[in-house]
Chain A
Amino acid sequence: MLTVRHIATAIATILVLSACTGPPPPTYGDAFKGLYNQSTASVPADVPVTVQHPIGIILNDNVEAYFRWVQASKQYWAGTVPTSLTNNVVIADGDPMFLSGRVLGMLKRRFPDALEVKDFPAAVSAGKKTIVLVDVVPKLMEPYGDRTTKFDFTYYFFDAKMNPVSKLSGHGEHYVAFGAADAGVQVAVDAALAQLDQKMNVLVR
């Protein structure tokens, strides 16, 4: 039989658990949302692509949304946990600079003249002949649920007429054991990008 003590304990548990999860993750939308008036559903997957130079790189709104969420979470924990007890490992693991650096580094290593551009009008006025639109759909580990961190990267290739011609995807995940100090973001990102890199070796010229 439920007693007042049981109910109070349950409420306290819920409060504690919710306090441990931080801000809720964002809802990720279509990769072209806010950039290109078309659905990604019609873009063919794994079609060989011959790129033309110069190349522009656009990181889409899902990347921006993920970065904002990481920033909000960091601020939340900074206000919750004393500075001396800050988990610097998990902060380094989820730092947006890592994801940006890895994605841009990978693309620039393959296409040295590639430059990041804000959107398609900017790309056109800069004379870009190929656009690589980067989409990411992350799923961070849940401390009290699925403890697997997953990252799905998709590169959409646009030709000189700014029409999407192909999309290549890479998936990476990492199970976070109990007691781990980080969320396995870097491991999952590296795995997804490695898979994507292998596909590009075959399909992109």
Chain B
Amino acid sequence: MRHLLTLAALALAVWSPCASVARADTCWETAQVNIDCSAKSAAPAAPKQGAPQNALRDQLLRSLGSSPKAAGPAASPEALAKAVHNAQDRAQSALDAAAKTSDPIQRQKLSQSYKAAMKDLNTAYDKAAAAADTPEGRAQLLAMKQADDQRYAEAADRQIQPPAAVRAETPNRGPDNVGASGGYVYACDGPVDGPHVSCREIQPDGRSCIAVIAFDGVINVRDSTATPCGKKDLAQRDEFFRQNPDAAVDVKMAAQPAFTMDPTETEAEIRRLTADMGGPKQLDPDSPECRAFLQVFVAASAANNGPGSEAAYEALQKVGGCGALPRDQVKATPLDPRFVQRGDTPMLDQTAVPCDQNPQACAAAVSQLRAGTSPEAVTALYANAIQIGLQVGTALGSAVLNAQQMNIPNSPASRPVASNGGARPRAPSPDTIQYHPRPPVPPCAIGGKGWCTAQ
């Protein structure tokens, strides 16, 4: 058993690098057509794919919400992105190769290759759409698939299936040596549907022409190179357009640049659609994921693994620090330009936040506040006011009564009054409040009419 395992491991070790090399240098077509992909998989494309695909894989993993094992290797983000890219490359390679050959048999094989690539492309898009976690993301991936379908179909119509006839099904007006089909204008030396006629295929943009030979209106031989169009041919085309405006429109439409999407744009779009909005996810410090991040970081540090520690530290930063990193060391989420970072909201913090965190207590508080405006509460409010009014009235009445008592003669509380004064008490004056000893008053003598006259 051990020997078998060793053999299997060796076979895998030998096979894996070979397989990767083979993937880098060849394109394996379903139709067994040999297409040179070295130009595509060489310098410009190959180095670009590693890191973005890793990032794409990570984001797809997050959007899938499952581990690679759970999702399965076929549904892994890397596989999804790679499948889309590979299928696009194969379809484009078939189209490019078809444009360069005039051999009908080779074209037929290339057409099969193209169809196989498109089938794989559709499958890859379907899998990516199934992996998207939002209906919008799924819909947009399917829209991208439809756009690719249309784009490649239009290119295939031009490059793989050249116009079968130099004259359209609808008879054209004007001289019989000029015809239009599939966006091309054919200026021939004889009738376009003649048994053997040489023609110039004027490209939709009118800048170049390709020599073709048609038999009974069907192109049989096409030159491999394009040359500048002659003035005579262009003049014939202009005259043809004047007499056939519909054909002019078709050619003009064909001259429009086809909608293209760079593979990197496709990848970016997939990344955008499948990524969590708002950038890095902030993990809960108590979550198992955070514990795993921390364990990796601690283990790498304990083992004096510098690069490992650095990678684990960056991973921690990306997930919000897991409560182990200071706030200033956590990578900030890039702010969407539409959003505004809100300032302090103390009143909402005092009211809405408690209500949000404890709905039952909030509902009870609302009930209490509702009871606070009930008729009973209003009655109590008025009763309180009346009671206070009564208390104030009682206090005032008491004060009045006390004041009257102060005016009773010989009362201990009464103040000395002037011998000729009335019952009204005199207001205290500074003289009476402060101590000012008066000189002794001489006794008086009763004079006439009973008046006391000072001596």
Chain A interface residues (CB < 8 Å from chain B): 34-38, 52, 57, 59, 61, 63-64, 67-68, 71, 84-85, 87-89, 91-93, 95-102, 104-105, 108, 115-116, 118-121, 124-125, 127, 129, 159-162, 181-182, 186
B376 CB to closest chain A CB, in angstroms?
10
Q: Does B4 contact A (CB under 8 A)?
A: no
| Cross-chain contact B335 with A121 (CB below 8 angstroms) | yes
Which residues of B have CB within 8 Å of A160?
A: 134, 136, 277
**Any chain A CB within 8 A of the CB of B225?**
no
Residue on A nearest B280 in the bound complex, by CB: A125
CA distance A182 to B388 in the complex (A): 20
Question: Are A97 and B340 neighbours in the complex by a CB distance under 8 Å?
Answer: no
Compute how far the CA of A93 lies from the CA of B337 in the bound complex, rounded to whole angstroms.
Answer: 40
**Residue with the highest number of chain B CB atoms closer than 10 Å, among A95, A98, A129, A160:** A98
Q: Per-residue CB proximity of B329-356 to A under 8 Å, as 1/0?
A: 0000101111111110111101111011
A103→B84 CA distance, assembly (Å): 47
Q: CA–CA, A87 to B345, complex, Å?
A: 27
Given A129-B134, A181-B381, A182-B373: A37 and B339 within 8 A (CB)? yes
* Least CB distance, B343 to chain A, in whole angstroms: 7
B361's nearest neighbour on chain A, judged by CB, is A101
Majority secondary structure of chain B interface residues (helix, strand, loop or mixed): helix
* Given A52-B134, A121-B333, A182-B373, residue A63 in contact with residue B378 (CB < 8 A): no
Interchain Cβ contacts under 8 Å between A and B, 17 examples? A38-B338, A63-B348, A92-B373, A97-B355, A99-B351, A100-B362, A105-B359, A105-B366, A108-B359, A116-B353, A118-B342, A119-B342, A120-B338, A125-B278, A160-B134, A162-B336, A181-B373
State A163–B340 Cα separation when bound (angstroms).
14
* B266 located at the interface, meaning its Cβ lies under 8 Å from any Cβ of chain A in the complex: no
Q: Which residues of A contact B134 (CB under 8 A)?
A: 52, 129, 160
Query: Would A97 and B369 count as touching, CB distance under 8 A?
Result: yes
**B282 nearest in chain A by CB position:** A125
Residues of chain B within 8 A (CB-CB) of A88 are 372, 377, 381
Contact A101 B282 (CB under 8 A): no
Cα distance, A80 to B369, chains bound together (Å): 23
B residues neighboring A (CB under 8 Å)? 134-136, 276-279, 281-282, 333, 335-343, 345-348, 350-353, 355-356, 359, 362-363, 365-366, 368-373, 377-378, 381-382, 384-385, 388
**C-alpha gap A92/B371 in the complex (Å):** 8
Q: With the chains together, A116 CA to B340 CA distance in Å? A: 17
| 10 tightest Cβ-Cβ pairs between the two chains A and B | A92-B372, A124-B278, A67-B347, A116-B356, A119-B342, A101-B366, A120-B339, A100-B351, A101-B362, A100-B352
Q: Are B378 and A181 in contact (CB under 8 A)?
A: yes
A92:B278 contact, CB within 8 angstroms: no
From the candidates A91, A116, A121, name the one contacting B352 in the complex (CB within 8 A): A116
In the complex, the answer to whether B366 meets A89 with C-beta atoms within 8 Å is no
Q: Is the interface of A mostly helix, strand, loop or mixed?
A: helix
CB pair B347–A101 under 8 Å, yes or no, is no
Q: Are B347 and A68 in contact (CB under 8 A)?
A: yes
Chain A residues with CB under 8 Å of B135's CB are: 52
By the criterion CB–CB under 8 Å, are B278 and A87 in contact? no
Q: Are A89 and B381 in contact (CB under 8 A)?
A: yes
Which among A71, A100, A104, A108 has the greatest number of chain B C-beta atoms within 10 A?
A: A100
Q: Give chain A residues whose Cβ lies under 8 Å from the Cβ of B388.
A: 84-85
Say how far A84's CB is from chain B's closest CB, in angstroms. Answer: 6
Instruction: Tell me whether B345 and A64 are in contact (CB under 8 A).
Output: yes
Knowing A85-B385, A116-B356, A120-B336, the reply to whether A161 touches B277 (Cβ < 8 A) is: yes
Q: Which residues of chain A are near B278, meaning CB under 8 Å?
A: 121, 124-125
* Distance of A85 Cα from B355 Cα, bound (Å): 30
Given A37-B339, A92-B377, A97-B351, A105-B370 contact (CB < 8 Å): no
Could you say which of A34, A67, A85, A159 contacts B348, with CB atoms under 8 Å apart? A67
A98 CB contact (under 8 Å) in B281, B356, B366: B366
Q: Kindly state the separation between the CA atoms of A38 and B340 in the bound complex, as whole angstroms.
A: 10
Chain B residues within an 8 Å CB radius of A63: 348, 352
